Amino acid sequence: VLSLLLLLPSSIPSTMETTKLPASSPSSPTTSFSVPSAEKVDGFPRRSMRRARQRRSHSSSQFRYQSSQVELTPLPLLKDAPVAELHDLFCKKLQQCCVLFDFLDCVADLKGKEIKRGALNELVECVATSRGVLIEPLYPEAIKMISVNIFRTLPPSENPEFDPEEDEPTLEASWPHLQLVYEFFLRFLESPDFQPSMAKRYVDQKFVMQLLELFDSED
């Protein structure tokens, strides 16, 4: 995120403005809250104890998959591609990974899900281990693939009092693919071939603001 914010030093509105609270009147009563002893276990509120035992569950992805699925077909492996064909094949795999699947139905489109998972793994490995892969024509395709997969409407939290230090996170149903997209995004930014001057043409303010909103997700 810091890398992306540095790409847009002047276009991101400040969200760190200090909010001044009105001074309390000397005559205003001070309200205090206490937890009844019956609601405590060894000095800790029972609510805190319950939170630590909550099980992780899946959030809804029902609005994320495409109703008319594009049938994916396996492509040659990136590691076996001739140098002259590598960039074209890399681009085709990025386009394949723009297809979204319904993970609420665990038996639907198993072949397509596995093809996409394999393609994402290849993309991650290729960016992490190869040099000269990230050329300018691939930047818009990479940003598009990342955007299509990670930007989504977050469902209402099943645990409004979620504490990341105590509670198990609610993982997105499409997490088997989503975590690989996040990994690709990270390797993309960390690559020695990454050119901020090129990325600035495709990573705009809207992209960064949408990325920041994802910090409200538990995963």
Tell me: the pLDDT tens digits for 104-129?
887 788 999 999 999 999 999 999 99
DSSP 194-207: --HHHHTTT--HHH
As given in the structure block, the two tokens for residue 52 are: 């630590």
For residues 82-106, give the mean pLDDT: 93
pLDDT surpassing 50 at residue 62 = no
Secondary structure in 3-state letters for 109-173: CHHHHHHHHHHHHHHHHHHHHCCCCCCCCHHHHHHHHHHHHHCCCCCCCCCCCCCCCCCCCCEEC
| pLDDT band for position 99 (cuts 50, 70, 90) | very high
Are 97 and 123 within 8 A, CB to CB?
A: yes
> Computed from CA positions of residues 59, 62, 63, 69, in that sequence, does the dihedral angle turn out positive or negative?
positive
Q: What is the pLDDT of residue 95?
A: 96
Predicted pLDDT at 33 = 44
Which comes out higher in pLDDT, residue 92 or 165? 92
| Banded pLDDT at 102 (limits 50, 70, 90) | confident
- Across 59-73, 117-131, 169-183, which has the greatest mean pLDDT? 117-131
Which pLDDT band, with edges at 50, 70 and 90, does 6 fall under? low
Q: How many CB atoms lie within 10 A of CB 77?
A: 13
How many C-beta neighbours within 10 Å does residue 36 have? 7
Better pLDDT: 140 or 13: 140
pLDDT given for residue 157 in this prediction: 65
- C-alpha of 66 from chain center: 19
Q: Is the pLDDT of residue 32 over 90?
A: no
Tell me the average pLDDT of the chain.
77
Asked if the model's pLDDT at residue 12 lies above 50, the reply is no
pLDDT digits (tens, 9 = 90+) for 147-174: 999 998 877 666 666 676 777 766 778 8
